[in-house]
Amino acid sequence: QVQLTESRGGLVQAGGSLTLSCAAPKSIFTIVVMGWYRQAPGKQRELVATISHDGVTQYADSVKGRFTISRGSAWNTVYLQMNNLKPEDTAVYYCNADRPSGWGRGTLVTVSE
């Protein structure tokens, strides 16, 4: 199990941008896949985006063209650049890792109209 720490979210206006980051401690093991999930009030947790060690990305249809996921040079960090934010993007965002696996504590992003 890997410990993940997300940056703080925040309050932004619709159409604005925000970038989240997630960091894992450096280890002899390399995380194969890192990604972001989110959970809005009254809804189940859903996939936002993932990125493999090889750089292959996957996005939810709702964020395609607006969000970009990337990993740092050390491959122990992952970023989520969010552009043209919409009120429906409001949720708690969770960082996720696989092999080794782990979850972040979650960070709240609120988008106002």
| Amino acid symbol at 99 | R
The three-state DSSP-derived secondary structure of 13-35 is: ECCCCEEEEEECCCCCCCCCEEE
The CA-based diameter of the chain, rounded to the nearest angstrom, is 45
Percentages helix, strand, coil for the chain (3-state, rounded to 5) are 5, 50, 50
pLDDT in tens, 14-45: 999 999 999 988 764 678 899 999 999 999 99
- Number of helices and strands (H, E) in the chain? 0, 11
**DSSP assignments along 86-109, one per residue:** -GGG-EEEEEEEETTTEE---EEE
CA 44 to chain centroid = 16
Of 17-26, 48-57, 60-69, 97-106, the range with the highest mean pLDDT is 60-69
pLDDT in tens, 74-96: 778 999 999 999 999 999 999 99
